[in-house]
């Protein structure tokens, strides 16, 4: 029997939070505010406050105000967004608590835009949609991190957590197996010196973000670490078939061109946007499917007419006028956010020569977030929680769409903060009832051997082996093409899955010569696992629903597929099962 201390540097805490983005920070703050004596440690691969996606987007938060009926929001969401795969009870809780979430966050960070009377400065994404938008500055996360430190939250940065440790797991060299033992900590390593770090904890909260396959630059920090760790620990995943978000991208600037789907044309001058309704909440997968079919038919290139792009005109007008429109006073005074968007729009305009037409193609973003959690953000492994983009699809709040953003601009930030606050309250109840975590040291030794294998392989070969980027590119080739991941068909998906499994077979060849390449090797392992989850679940759902489009099953089939698809490790194999959505117990039904 090995001792934990023989394996590396051991840290003791009560609540271990993996990830220092907006979800992890709100969980840490919520836990500390409610119980100042509870030990909370945030471990971050990069730098807390700078990590994650919250400071790389619009800084917009959706919410329902006191005069916005939750029932109207649920009605719209089930019929137009989630297609009845939502957990309507959880979605209703989120909607009812969304404004309180924003108010909580603002009490910590003081970055939300407000009117002269102190009320939130509110906008809408498009008229007629049953929710509102508030906005915060792009430094919200940094302010949250500073507040967490004042509360006594501890931080360990430049440290990558790779796996969750459990009590009572099998010993030896086998990888962690699914079981009933509880989470008791985690294992990883320093990116600075490569030292092994082990964590003993009563509870673990995974807040590492989703998986975006390193394709689009703004989102490529989402590497799926927590998703892979949860799955290897035995946790279920849910709704993995919906983790393939894409946006139409300006071909020249390589930046997303928001609103382009409202004004698409082929080379014949034919408008391709007839499927769009008046009050579409956001881009949907039909944009990718239409692009794919037109290109196969030889009708490319596909372009968007910028003067018909309502969202582009609206955003450009705000940027140029420094306000909400030509004659409207400035709604959101956010110098950092405005500078961010001005740079982005200027880059796009310069790339196109400020022309009226832009050629577009589907840019793959991923937004894969399938770890299953309950209403307390607990996974199916005791003591293990998941929040934010690690579990936004897996909580089933969004339904049949990639989440975040779940076809609602601003929902990602609000839901991440809400999930963090909710997990913070739930984890306190849990840690008050269990003894300190005692991780299985033999399991930890086996995991350490697996984590550090690429370094040993490099030392033994005394030369370059298989670079992590080679496997990353192989997975990207299997996930980015529209005909594989957006507009799906059995034969094409089996071909893509074959590429993924081929990459999986090459994992034992991975080599790393320093801690950063070691991180890349373990990220490649996570990417391969996430891609396999996506295709296993996509092949199982034999219908089209929401974001999931099947060329060979073009119709929605409520009789057969009002079900959640579940994946779980069983003896090293990915087991696929289904669970009936309890739609007849919900207020809205198809």
Same domain, yes or no: 380 and 263: no
pLDDT band at 329 (very low <50, low <70, confident <90, very high): very low
User: Positive or negative, the Cα torsion across 97, 98, 101, 103?
Assistant: negative
46-55, 347-356, 444-453: range with lowest mean pLDDT: 347-356
pLDDT for position 324: 40
Domain assignment present for residue 574? The answer is no
Same domain, yes or no: 143 and 178: yes
Confirm if 439 and 198 have CB atoms less than 8 A apart. yes
Mean pLDDT over 275-282 rounds to: 84
CA atoms within 13 A on the CB side of 130: 17
Q: What DSSP line would sit under 228-277, residue for residue?
A: HHHHHHT--EE-GGG--EEEEEETTT-SB-TTGGGGEE-TT--B--TT--
CATH number of domain containing 314:
3.90.700
pLDDT for position 125: 80
Q: What is the pLDDT of residues 389-427, one digit of tens each?
A: 999 999 999 999 999 888 998 899 999 999 999 999 999
The residue to which tokens 């959706």 are assigned = 62
Same domain, yes or no: 45 and 61: yes
Q: What is the pLDDT of residues 279-319, one digit of tens each?
A: 788 888 999 999 999 999 999 999 999 888 877 666 554 44
pLDDT for position 127: 81
Is the preceding peptide bond at 301 cis, omega within 30 degrees of 0? yes
The residue to which tokens 């990207």 are assigned = 476
Domain assignment present for residue 439? The answer is no
Same domain, yes or no: 469 and 425: no
Last residue of a domain, one of 365, 384, 401: 365
Last residue of a domain, one of 379, 403, 431: 431
pLDDT band at 255 (very low <50, low <70, confident <90, very high): confident
Total number of residues shown for the chain: 590
pLDDT for position 277: 82
Q: What is the pLDDT of residues 355-399, one digit of tens each?
A: 788 899 999 999 999 999 999 999 999 999 999 999 999 999 999
Same domain, yes or no: 81 and 173: yes
Count the neighbouring beta carbons within 10 Å of the beta carbon of residue 354: 10
pLDDT for position 542: 98
Q: What is the pLDDT of residues 471-502, one digit of tens each?
A: 999 999 999 999 999 999 999 999 999 999 99
Higher pLDDT, 229 or 335: 229
pLDDT band at 220 (very low <50, low <70, confident <90, very high): confident
pLDDT for position 430: 96
**Token pair listed for 352:** 């196109």
Does 222 score more than 70 pLDDT?
Answer: yes
Contacts of 428 (CB under 8 A, 6+ apart): 31, 34, 35, 38
Same domain, yes or no: 394 and 469: no
Higher pLDDT, 258 or 143: 143
Question: What is d(CA 30, CA 32) in angstroms, rounded to the nearest whole number?
Answer: 6
Confirm if 478 and 215 have CB atoms less than 8 A apart. no
Domain assignment present for residue 579? The answer is no
Q: Which residues of 526-550 are buried (b: 16+ CB within 10 A; e: fewer)?
A: bbbbbbbbbbbbbbbbebbbbbbbb
Counting the structural domains of the chain, the total is 3
CA-closest candidate to residue 372, choices 206, 587, 199 = 206
Does 463 score more than 60 pLDDT?
Answer: yes
Residue 11 is inside which H or E element, if any? strand 9-12
pLDDT for position 175: 42
Same domain, yes or no: 125 and 18: yes
CATH number of domain containing 45:
3.50.50.60
Query: Structure pTM?
Result: 0.94
379: helix, strand or coil: coil
pLDDT for position 330: 62
DSSP 8-state symbol, 223: B
Mean pLDDT over 457-468 rounds to: 79
Give me the domain span that covers residue 535.
451-556
Does 224 score more than 80 pLDDT?
Answer: yes
Does 257 score more than 60 pLDDT?
Answer: yes
Same domain, yes or no: 456 and 412: no
Domain assignment present for residue 568? The answer is no
CA-closest candidate to residue 452, choices 120, 166, 172, 190 = 190
Does 80 score more than 60 pLDDT?
Answer: yes
CA-closest candidate to residue 562, choices 547, 541, 576 = 541
Mean pLDDT over 253-259 rounds to: 83
pLDDT for position 320: 44
Percentage of the chain with pLDDT > 90? 77
Q: What is the pLDDT of residues 168-217, one digit of tens each?
A: 644 333 444 444 589 999 999 999 999 999 999 999 999 999 999 999 87
Phi, psi of 350 (to 5 degrees): -65, -40
Last residue of a domain, one of 365, 391, 421: 365
Average pLDDT, the chain: 91
Same domain, yes or no: 397 and 504: no
**Token pair listed for 40:** 């909370």
Percentage of the chain with pLDDT > 70? 92
User: Positive or negative, the Cα torsion across 45, 48, 49, 52?
Assistant: positive
Q: What is the dihedral of CA 229, 233, 236, 242, to 10 degrees?
A: 20
pLDDT band at 326 (very low <50, low <70, confident <90, very high): very low
Domain assignment present for residue 328? The answer is yes
Same domain, yes or no: 121 and 21: yes
Contacts of 234 (CB under 8 A, 6+ apart): 166, 176, 177, 178, 179, 380, 381, 568, 569
Q: What is the dihedral of CA 475, 478, 479, 482, to 10 degrees?
A: 160
CA-closest candidate to residue 43, choices 71, 56, 62, 24 = 24
Residue 44 is inside which H or E element, if any? strand 40-44
The residue to which tokens 């501890």 are assigned = 154
Q: What is the pLDDT of residues 103-131, one digit of tens each?
A: 999 999 999 999 999 999 998 888 889 99
pLDDT for position 173: 36
Domain assignment present for residue 550? The answer is yes
pLDDT band at 546 (very low <50, low <70, confident <90, very high): very high
Is the preceding peptide bond at 405 cis, omega within 30 degrees of 0? yes
CATH number of domain containing 499:
1.20.58.100
Confirm if 101 and 22 have CB atoms less than 8 A apart. no
């Amino acid at each position: 029997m090995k001792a934990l201390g023989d394996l590396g540097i051991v840290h003791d805490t009560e609540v271990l939070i993996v990830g220092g983005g907006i979800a992890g920070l709100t969980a840490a703050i919520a836990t500390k505010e409610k119980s100042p004596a509870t030990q909370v440690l945030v471990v971050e691969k990069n730098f807390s406050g700078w990590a994650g996606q919250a400071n790389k987007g619009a800084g917009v938060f959706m919410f329902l105000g006191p005069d916005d009926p939750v029932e109207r929001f649920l009605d719209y969401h089930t019929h137009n967004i989630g297609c009845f795969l939502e957990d309507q009870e959880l979605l209703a809780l989120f909607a009812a608590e969304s404004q309180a979430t924003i108010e909580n966050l603002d009490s910590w960070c003081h970055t939300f835009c407000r009117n002269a009377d102190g009320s939130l400065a509110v906008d809408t994404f498009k008229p007629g949609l049953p929710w509102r938008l508030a906005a915060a500055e792009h430094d919200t996360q940094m302010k949250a991190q500073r507040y967490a430190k004042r509360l006594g939250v501890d931080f360990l940065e430049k440290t990558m957590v790779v796996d969750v440790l459990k009590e009572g797991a099998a010993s030896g060299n086998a990888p962690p197996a699914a079981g009933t033992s509880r989470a008791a900590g985690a294992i990883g390593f320093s990116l600075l010196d490569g030292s092994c770090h082990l964590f003993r904890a009563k509870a673990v909260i995974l807040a590492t973000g989703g998986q975006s396959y390193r394709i689009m630059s703004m989102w490529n920090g989402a590497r799926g670490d927590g998703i892979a760790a949860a799955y290897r620990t035995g946790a279920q995943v849910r709704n993995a078939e919906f983790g393939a978000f894409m946006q139409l991208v300006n071909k020249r600037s390589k930046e997303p061109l928001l609103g382009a789907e409202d004004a698409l044309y082929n080379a014949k001058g034919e408008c391709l946007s007839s499927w769009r309704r008046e009050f579409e909440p956001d881009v949907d997968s039909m944009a990718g499917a239409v692009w794919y079919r037109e290109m196969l038919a030889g009708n490319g290139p596909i372009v968007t007419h910028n003067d018909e792009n309502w969202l582009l005109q609206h955003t450009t007008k705000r940027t140029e006028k420094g306000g909400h429109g030509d004659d409207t006073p400035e709604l959101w005074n956010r110098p950092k956010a405005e500078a961010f968007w001005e740079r982005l729009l200027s880059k796009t305009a310069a790339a196109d020569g400020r022309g009226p037409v832009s050629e577009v193609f589907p840019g793959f973003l991923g937004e894969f977030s399938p770890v299953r959690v309950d209403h307390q953000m607990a996974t199916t492994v005791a003591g293990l929680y998941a929040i934010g983009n690690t579990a936004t699809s897996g909580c089933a709040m969004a339904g049949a769409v990639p989440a975040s953003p779940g076809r609602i601009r601003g929902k990602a930030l609000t839901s991440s903060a809400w999930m963090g606050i909710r997990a913070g309250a739930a984890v306190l109840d849990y840690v008050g009832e269990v003894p300190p975590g005692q991780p299985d040291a033999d399991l930890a030794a086996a995991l350490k051997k697996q984590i550090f294998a690429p370094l040993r392989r490099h030392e033994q070969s005394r030369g370059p082996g298989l670079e992590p980027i080679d496997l990353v590119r192989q997975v990207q080739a299997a996930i980015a093409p529209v005909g594989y991941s957006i507009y799906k068909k059995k034969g094409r998906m089996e071909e893509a899955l074959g590429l993924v499994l081929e990459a999986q077979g090459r994992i034992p060849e991975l080599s790393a010569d320093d801690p950063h390449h070691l991180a890349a090797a373990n990220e490649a392992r996570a990417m391969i696992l996430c891609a396999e989850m996506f295709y296993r679940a996509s092949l199982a759902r034999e219908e089209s629903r929401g974001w999931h489009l099947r060329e060979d099953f073009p119709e929605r089939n409520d009789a057969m597929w009002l079900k959640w698809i579940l994946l779980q490790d069983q003896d090293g194999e990915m087991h696929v099962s289904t669970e009936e959505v309890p739609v007849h117990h919900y207020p809205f039904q198809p």
